[in-house]
Structure 1
Amino acid sequence: MGEALNSWKRTIMCGELREEHIGQKVTVMGWVQRNRNLGGLEFVDLRDRTGILQVVFGEVINKEAFEKANKVRPEYCIAIKGEIIRREAPNNAMATGMVELKGEEIKILSESETPPIYIKDNLDAAENIRLKYRYLDLRRSDMQKILMIRSKTAKAVRDYLVNSEFLEIETPMLTKSTPEGARDYLVPSRNYPGMFYALPQSPQLFKQLLMVSGFDKYFQIVKCFRDEDLRANRQPEFTQIDLEMSFVEQDDVMELNEGLIKHVFKEVGNIDVKLPIRRMPYKEAMEKYGSDKPDLRFGMEIRDLSETVKNAEFKVFQDALENGGSVRAICLKDGANMGRKDIDRLGEFVKTFKAKGLAWIQLKEEEIKSPISKFLKEDELKNIIDVMSAETGDMILIVADKNSVVFQSLGQLRLELAKKYDLIKDKNEFNFCWITEFPLLEYDEEEGRYFAAHHPFTCPMDEDLEYLESDPGRVRAKAYDLVLNGEELGGGSIRIHDTKLQERMFGVLGFTQESAWERFGFLLEAFKFGPPPHGGLAFGFDRMIMFLAGTDNIKDVIAFPKNQNAFCPMTEAPNVADEKQLVELGISLNKEDK
């Protein structure tokens, strides 16, 4: 049985005690990290979220407290009163290592069974076990530090935006299902049998309506939901820093958010972000790095060899060029000694991104070695080396195909080589970059129509408007992503605020006027009443915390995440519903579902 507090009040946290507290009487509360008996002394390491404090009990100090302290075990929840004294054997590895608490009274608030996981940092337990006992996993100091960083970051975001005259406004969790995105999570309605709410993938439509309403600076730190396959670092529910501004253009939104990033990273991580942040058009990012979220912490840029090899007698190159593709390459410094097995593995690697193969040229000390050298004239080989700025000891890796395949395969190969050869020298570098001038639309060959690359409310660039119907793939968007170390940290756009232009956009996306109004009628109706020019941005809050906390696992930064199958081992959600609930909702399950 646990003891009641009976008016005991905690006066200080364990991790806050220092030499200046020597001689003070304090009351501390927390969990037993470990205990050890040394004859007439009992030592207890007491832990709370601020740190660990050593407590010493002795028969000569207080026999009753000493005997009670002998009974405690790891993870017992206890309270202790006593005096702070200087530690005879200081421990410089602990923040509280110069002092200890002389225990004079103790209450065992609750006992604990032996935990199924160790409460220690750098735990190597299986992830599903950690998630099943998440409340214990969260007792570990490394996990607690991450969630404290999350809390501090949320405050820093709010401080900056409120000081910039933004209003924090909540938008609905139960809303209408709309197309153009991932699958929605649907919520059946009891009051309207056969009808469903959808959980929001983002507050997009509502924040635009708030601009129509005259709240010209809105933000919220908000939960979003997407029913999609959980690739690495995705969760079915995640958090965004969502904001929208009226009477602005692209530069206004980007500059405001640069200030936000500078403030948050300095306040939370003491990281200095240099402004202005570099800007790079989408076309340049794809051509140089094969990605719209390039990692700029190392070089190895992709270079175009199409002109150089256009007359080469190599069928793979010729086929790619004749089909409108290109021949491009990267240069691995000091890669000339790579063995054939490793080269073959790289060839298999690019094939996973639909490349047909990988050509290579090694500039060895004694010779130039390449399986394609017999197809190249001497001057063609020399020109390839010149274009790649390759030197003796380097290796050139070439892919020829349609551009989308070339970019993706070489872009991923670039990252793979950086990891394999440890090319990122400063692991603490934070390299930010804005990517701009995205394509407005993407063509889906299977469905035979265009989809919005960002979302259907993104404004086309003014100079490209004339091509919206005649050449949609040519149209660029007033869209912008903030990239950090090869990860998209956030993205946004200037929105369409003209009803006629919005209807044109829906037309290009294959909506009839009737279907557009059926799906988005409330927004189109609102746009009849003087909508202001507006734009915004949403940051992935969880991803931001990952950078600030130095973890590469999104589950580490969320208190109660789901596993890779969107399942919670702790609560066993999702789970079956009571038959009575299903009847009330008018839902009947198939036999196999039951």
Structure 2
Amino acid sequence: MAESMQGLKRTHRCGELSAAQIGEKVTVMGWVQKNRNKGGLVFVDVRDRSGIIQAVFEEGKTEAALLEKAAKLRAEYVVAIVGTVEKRSGAVNENISTGEIEIIPEELRILSEAETPPFQVEENSKTKEEVRLKYRYLDLRRPDMQRNLLMRSQVATLTRQFLAEEGFLEIETPVLVGSTPEGARDYLVPSRIHHGHFYALPQSPQLFKQLLMCSGCDRYFQLAKCFRDEDLRADRQPEFTQIDMELSFVDVDDVIDVNERLLKKLFHEVLGVEVSLPIPRMTWQEAMDRFGSDKPDIRFGMELHDVTEVVKDCEFVVFKGAIENGGTVRGINAKGQGAMPRKKIDKLVDFAKDFGAKGLAYIAIQEDGTVKSSFAKFMKEEEMTALIQAMEGENGDFLLFAADKNKVVWDVLGNLRLELARQMELLDKNEYKFIWITEFPLLEWSEEQNRYTAMHHPFTMPMEEDLQYIDTDPGRVRAKAYDIVLNGNEIGGGSVRIFNQEIQSKMFEVLGFTPEQAEEQFGFLLNAFKYGVPPHAGLAYGLDRLVMLMAKEDSIRDVIAFPKVKDASDLMTEAPTPVDQKQLDELGLQIVREEKKEIQE
């Protein structure tokens, strides 16, 4: 039966006790991690978010009633223990911070009993994630999850402190906003008062933070909840948190400077890792050419080699056809993998096909210098030698090639490079490699929409020297945009914004907006720009993704208290759920059920 904690006050958290408290009377409260009854001697491990402390109930030292009560304790009972800290009578436990001390209790209260949990609350649980998420309140008791939440809190607190000291104002922007046409799908919220009209949940505070710059706030930041109705992956959620900022009277270098110092502070204070400044910068074009990705993982080499010129006159139809169609031939060198078995090679070919490859050409150089290749019969000996030389191939190396349009080749080899790095165990989670990617293309061609779309968003400033090409060759125009990449993950991105009315109108025109459409969707921003707008720029981090990498986790679900699963549902609360007909009537909504079509035999 549960007891009251009346008259008791916790003096210490469990993991805060140390040899310094030996001889002191303390009161701890927490959950029973383990109860070991040795008959006349009961060891109880009590856990809270700070760690574990051992309490020892011993016949002769402990009252019989207290010993009997301790023997009945079960895992996850919530208890309060009053006792004296003593040096451990048994072996020191070096795995926990309190391993050299124990509590000799004089009082034990059971504050709450517990049923047997569906899984053991322990570090590095092997329980299926679906079960852990259904009982998330139990999962969050695990020490590794507690550490992740603590780290997330530290990152948020330090960010607020740093930005406040840099003159930023923390300002909240609305969560019920108008729907925007660009980007991912909006989550829509029907209006009860305005039937047939909808709010959207913000995908980012972009327009509002630009308006704050028009308002003279000078420097703004917010830990902002954002929402995107898109397909989920390990590092995506329907709702996520951004560290969002905007600055007035700045250019690219100013934004990069303040953010480099923020990252340096976070990694030093939270992890004890020193980030060397300045962080290297690389243009988008160089990143694509060298790594096949605009978020390159630079913890390892295996860079792409463009061998188009080397093979342009060969008779291998795959290479020849790609070059004739305006494509390129590029390759990567997996050092020391020349003896890769055929079954593994076939798996790599299938992997490459998932990213648009029609196939993969390869050369396996054996340790004795013998060359095995999928296309050797189409190459002259000197052509093969020149190709291996261009790839810096040595005995024992495995060379892989893709031939197609640049976009496909980059995508195939960029992903293949990462897959090989995983297989070769080249990805060290203890290493943190940052890089800025700059000078992104302003626009990208959408085959689906048959028009140019903004690579970032419609308010990104083109590089001044490229404005001359905006009408004649829009694809050539580079943007004043920048992403900060860590270990192959984009953790933040931003740009200098357009503040010139003529350039903004031209941007809308290139994106296919009529003046009327631009006015209808962004009129409030364009109107604000008529009243004096400062040059401004900004950046937003994905807080979840940043903490995931700092915590060395593989999924952002492990650093979010209550995440969703892949179909955007919550296994614990079972959201989304149906609603009452009365609520639908108030909103003027009707649910149209999809009829299942009968299959005609």
Is the TM value for this pair above 0.5? yes
CA distance in 2, matches of 1:17, 1:253: 44
* Partners of 1:62 and 1:263 in 2: CA distance: 52
1:59, distance to aligned residue in structure 2 (A) = 4.3
Deviation of 1:372 (Å): 1.8
The alignment partner of 2:310 has SS state of: coil
Amino acid at match of 2:275: V
Structure 1 residue 93: Cα displacement: 2.0
User: How far apart are the structure 1 equivalents of 2:255 and 2:296?
Assistant: 21
Q: Which residue of 2 aligns with 1:457?
A: 459
Alignment of 1:367-446 (within 5 A): 367-424=370-427, 426-446=428-448
- Secondary structure of the 1:11 match is coil
For 2:204, give the aligned amino acid. Answer: S
Q: Which residue of structure 2 aligns with residue 292 of structure 1?
A: 294
Q: Structure 1 counterpart of 2:239, which letter?
A: E
Aligned partner of 1:242 in structure 2 is: 244
CA–CA separation in structure 2 for the residues paired with 1:147 and 1:484? 21
Per-residue Cα deviation, 1:71-100 (whole angstroms, up to 9, x for no partner): 321111111111111111122222111111
Structure 1 residues 427 and 545, CA gap change in structure 2 (3 angstroms): closer
User: Aligned partners of 2:148, 2:595: CA distance in 1, in Å?
Assistant: 39
Partners of 2:516 and 2:284 in 1: CA distance: 34
Partner of 1:189: 191
Quick one: which amino acid aligns to residue 387 of structure 1? Answer: A
Deviation at 1:389, TM superposition (A): 1.2
- The structural deviation recorded for 1:136 is 0.5
Q: CA deviation at 1:374?
A: 2.3
Q: 1:578 aligns with which of 577, 580, 597?
A: 580
Residue 111 of structure 1 deviates from its aligned partner by: 0.6
Q: Deviation of residue 399 (structure 1)?
A: 1.0
Q: Distance in 2 between matches of 1:387 and 1:592?
A: 58
Distance (whole Å) between structure 1 residues aligned to residue 74 and residue 180 of structure 2: 55
Residue 80 (1) aligns with residue 81 (2): yes
Q: Can you list the C-alpha shifts for 1:480-505, whole angstroms capped at 9, x where unaligned?
A: 00111111011000000112211111
Q: Secondary structure at the match of 2:54?
A: strand
Deviation string for 1:536-593 (max 9, x for gaps)? Answer: 1001100111111111111100000011111111111000111111111111112459
Quote the residue 1:312 is aligned against.
314
Letter in 2 for 1:404: K
Partner Cα separation in structure 1 for residue 31 and residue 271 of structure 2: 28
- Please say if 1:540 is aligned against 2:542: yes
Specify the alignment match of 2:49 in structure 1.
49
Alpha carbons 2:43, 2:57 under 8 Å: kept: yes
One-letter amino acid of the structure 2 residue matched with residue 44 of structure 1: V
Please tell me the residue identity of whatever aligns with 1:297: R
Q: Hey, what's the Cα distance between the residues in 2 that align with 1:130 and 1:437?
A: 43
Distance 2:395 2:594 in 1: 65
1:235-282 superposed Cα distances (whole Å, 9 cap, x missing partner)? 000011000000000011011100010000111111110000010000
Q: What displacement does 1:315 show?
A: 1.6
Measure, in 2, the Cα distance between the counterparts of 1:5 and 1:422. 52
Shifted more, 320-329 versus 68-77: the winner is 68-77
2:280 maps to which of 278, 281, 294: 278
1:17 aligns with 2:17: yes
% identical aligned pairs: 59
Q: Look up the SS of the partner of 2:504 in the other structure.
A: helix
Aligned to 1:476: 478
Q: Give the distance between the partners of 1:216 and 1:310, measured in 2 at CA.
A: 55
Using the TM superposition, give the Cα deviation of residue 351 of structure 1 relative to its aligned residue in structure 2, in angstroms. 1.4
Q: Please give the per-residue CA displacement for 1:360-397, whole angstroms capped at 9, x wherever unaligned.
A: 12223252222322222233222212211111221221
SS at match of 2:363: strand
Secondary structure of 1:527's aligned partner: helix
For 1:366 and 1:289, how far apart are their aligned partners in 2? 27
Structure 2 residue runs of 5 or longer lacking an equivalent are 597-601
Q: Does 1:179 align with 2:181?
A: yes
Match of 1:254 among 256, 259, 262: 256
Residue 488 of structure 1: aligned partner: 490
Alpha-carbon contact 2:234-2:554 (below 8 Å) kept: no
Cα separation, 2, equivalents of 1:310 and 1:43:
76
Gaps of 5+ in 1: none
Q: Is the 8 A contact 2:225 2:242 kept in 1?
A: yes
Between 339-348 and 399-408, report the one with greater CA deviation: 339-348
Pick from 562, 579, 586: which aligns with 1:560? 562
Distance 2:140 2:574 in 1: 18
Counterpart amino acid of residue 27 in structure 2: T
C-alpha distance after superposition, 1:11-53 (max 9, x if no partner): 1111111111011111110111111222223221111111111
Aligned counterpart in structure 1 of residue 235 of structure 2, from 230, 233, 236:
233
What amino acid is the match of 2:120? Y
Q: Counterparts of 1:94 and 1:586 in 2: how far apart (Å)?
A: 59
Query: What is the aligned partner in structure 2 of residue 63 from structure 1?
Result: 64
* Corresponding letter in the other structure for 2:388: I
TM-score, structure 2 length as denominator?
0.97
Which residue of structure 1 lines up, in the alignment, with residue 4 of structure 2?
4
Q: Which whole-Å CA distance do the structure 2 matches of 1:525 and 1:227 have between them?
A: 29
Deviations 1:160-211 (A, max 9, x none): 1111111111100111101111000001111111111100000000000000
Q: What is the identity, as a one-letter code, of the residue corresponding to 1:431? A: K
What residue in structure 2 maps to residue 37 of structure 1? 37
Q: Is 125-134 or 373-382 further displaced after alignment?
A: 373-382
Instruction: Summarize deviations over 1:298-323 as a string: whole Å, max 9, x none.
Output: 11111111111111112211211111
Measure, in 2, the Cα distance between the counterparts of 1:353 and 1:282. 20
Report SS of the residue matched to 1:307.
helix
Q: Distance in 2 between matches of 1:348 and 1:74?
A: 48
Q: Distance in 1 between matches of 2:142 and 2:349?
A: 43
2:374, 2:88 → 1: CA distance? 71
More deviation, 124-133/199-208: 124-133
Provide the rounded CA distance (Å) in 2 between the counterparts of 1:69 and 1:347.
Answer: 61
Three-state SS of the structure 2 residue aligned to 1:528 is helix
Change (3 A) 1:38 1:593: farther
Residue identity matched to 2:197? M
The residue aligned with 2:526 is 524
Root mean square deviation of aligned Cα: 1.4
Q: 1:154 to 1:593 in 2, by over 3 A?
A: farther
Residues 429, 552 of structure 2: 8 Å contact kept? no
Deviation digits for residues 286-305 of structure 1 (CA, Å, limit 9, x no counterpart): 01110000111111111111
Secondary structure at the residue paired with 1:524?
helix
Using the TM superposition, give the Cα deviation of residue 62 of structure 1 relative to its aligned residue in structure 2, in angstroms: 2.6
Query: Which amino acid is the alignment partner of residue 425 of structure 2?
Result: D
In 1: Cα distance, 2:86 partner to 2:261 partner: 46
Counterpart amino acid of residue 345 in structure 1: K
Aligned partner letter, 1:57? F
Distance 1:376 1:568 in 2: 56
